[in-house]
Amino acid sequence: MSRRESSTDFTRLAQYPGSGCEKYDRRGEIFGRDDVIPLWVADMDFPAPDFVNEALAERLADGAFGYAKPDAGHFDAITGWLAGQHDWQVAPETIVPVPGVVPAMAMAIRAFTRLDARVIIQPPVYFPFFQVVRDQGRTLVENPLVERPDGSGGTRYEMNFEALEAEAAEAEMLLLCNPHNPGGRAWSTDELRQVATICARHDVMVISDEIHMDLTYPGVSHTPFARVGDPSGCRWFTVTAPGKTFNTAGIGGGYAVIPDAAIRERFDRERRGMHLGEGSVFGLTALKAAYVHGSHWPDELMAHVAINRDRVVEAVSDLPIEPMWPEATYLLWLDCRGMGLSDATSDPEDRALQRFFIEEAGLGLSQGIIFGEPGRGYMRINLASPTRVIDRAMAQLREAWAIRVDDRG
């Protein structure tokens, strides 16, 4: 795998109103006003790395965009990336192209569970997990994470293995978020091994969403579920994509890693039955360029994200907001329960927490309750933006809270 230094400018705001990006152009629809600082949807504000942009420009210059099919170089790029970044040795034939992580989960649910089967998720968790289960006519089972002290004055999420054992006895599948969105946990080998052991014991299949696998902070490493899946005898496979890492989510495309031949054939039969292709011209081009030339990129990116994380943590240090220190992702989970603002969903007029951030602070964050009931009272902020944007957001937050305190005072 080759290495090229990137000339990406992390001060450049590459997404903007009118550019067709969801983050900016849906503000009115999502937040009721068009001028909030949008720090919600999980893509980046700065440009994709130059080696990806150059590859796309070269492909665009060809001027012909017929049906695309991944070649040997595509699979070599993936296997090289997984080996180089994660010490994960994958055979090319075990890789199945998919349109994206959530569509792959939908196909997995349809292929490997019965109608009305129980499918486990672990909230608070990426909100499409809820709907993708229900949309396939399956029964959603929640195994909520537990918030515990992290040993350094903060808290972190841990799994409730006792409850998981009980729920797995009647379930057919577990959707695992590894690393965890929104809490930022990079699950340890021991934690994943316990998941695999429980699921193997009850014949529960594990689908591991590892789309944030490259986005760990210094000193933290990602553990692929593959490391524990096969030794446990668990049925499993992994779905992921380069979109979060390289800011190419709008191009689409991802892949599943499925070592078991029988599982792979059944999954691919489901994919073919839905008449899904194997990727777009630009999705395939972007993936290959990213994985061949981008070995340095995650470290570059996360160094910038760490600066923004620290700025937010410092800015709220004297506010009734407690950030959950992240091990991975460019997302930060904010415990806002100390603000004393209600966070109801049944009554649209009783969303004081959401209204404070939107109407008083002028910020568009993700409301924690959409990640499940354990997210009530939390907000999720996206740190993948120029530092000046984060600083402006924090200034608005601090000013809004000061005004509120003065008004109450």
* Same domain, residue pair 46 and 58: no
Residue 40 included in any domain: yes
Residue 10 included in any domain: no
| pLDDT of 127 | 97
* Same domain, residue pair 250 and 184: yes
Residue 121 included in any domain: yes
Cα–Cα nearest to 249, from 67, 77, 102: 102
* Same domain, residue pair 270 and 319: no
* Same domain, residue pair 46 and 60: no
Helices 50-62 & 281-293 angle (0-180, nearest 10): 140
Rg of the chain over all Cα atoms, to the nearest angstrom: 21
Residue 182 included in any domain: yes
Please state, in angstroms and rounded to a whole number, the distance separating the CA atoms of residues 256 and 105: 10
Look at residues 293, 316, 333 and tell me which one is the last residue of a structural domain. Answer: 293
Residue 349 belongs to domain spanning: 22-50+296-403
Residue 199 included in any domain: yes
Look at residues 266, 293, 320 and tell me which one is the last residue of a structural domain. Answer: 293
* Same domain, residue pair 286 and 303: no
* Same domain, residue pair 265 and 359: no
pTM of the complete model = 0.96
Look at residues 250, 273, 293 and tell me which one is the last residue of a structural domain. Answer: 293
* Same domain, residue pair 377 and 253: no
* Same domain, residue pair 166 and 244: yes
Residue with tokens 């100390």: 338
Q: Which two tokens stand for residue 305?
A: 């994200």
Q: How many domains does the chain have?
A: 2
CA distances from 274 to 104, 168, 388 (A): 11, 29, 45
Residue 329 included in any domain: yes
| pLDDT of 353 | 95
* Same domain, residue pair 231 and 311: no
* Same domain, residue pair 201 and 333: no
Q: Which two tokens stand for residue 263?
A: 């599982």
Whether the CB-CB separation of 204 and 168 falls below 8 Å is answered with yes
Q: Which two tokens stand for residue 93?
A: 């034939």
| Local confidence pLDDT in tens for the 409 residues of the chain | 444 555 678 999 998 899 889 999 999 999 999 999 999 999 999 999 999 999 999 999 999 999 989 999 999 999 999 999 999 999 999 999 999 999 999 999 999 999 999 999 999 999 999 999 999 999 999 999 999 999 999 999 999 999 999 999 999 999 999 999 999 999 999 999 999 999 999 999 999 999 999 999 999 999 999 999 988 899 999 999 999 999 999 999 999 999 999 999 999 999 999 988 788 999 999 999 999 999 999 999 999 999 999 999 999 999 999 999 999 999 999 999 999 998 865 565 568 999 999 999 999 999 999 999 999 999 999 999 999 999 999 999 999 999 999 877 6
- Give 96's strand partners: 256
DSSP three-state, residue 156: strand
Residue 8 included in any domain: no
Please state, in angstroms and rounded to a whole number, the distance separating the CA atoms of residues 55 and 77: 14
* Same domain, residue pair 376 and 261: no
| pLDDT of 7 | 65
* Same domain, residue pair 326 and 397: yes
Q: Output the domain CATH number for residue 337.
A: 3.90.1150.10
Cα–Cα nearest to 94, from 75, 118, 107, 112: 75
Q: What is the largest CA-CA distance in the chain?
A: 67
| pLDDT of 1 | 46
Q: Output the domain CATH number for residue 113.
A: 3.40.640.10
Residue 239 included in any domain: yes
| pLDDT of 343 | 84
Whether the CB-CB separation of 27 and 41 falls below 8 Å is answered with no
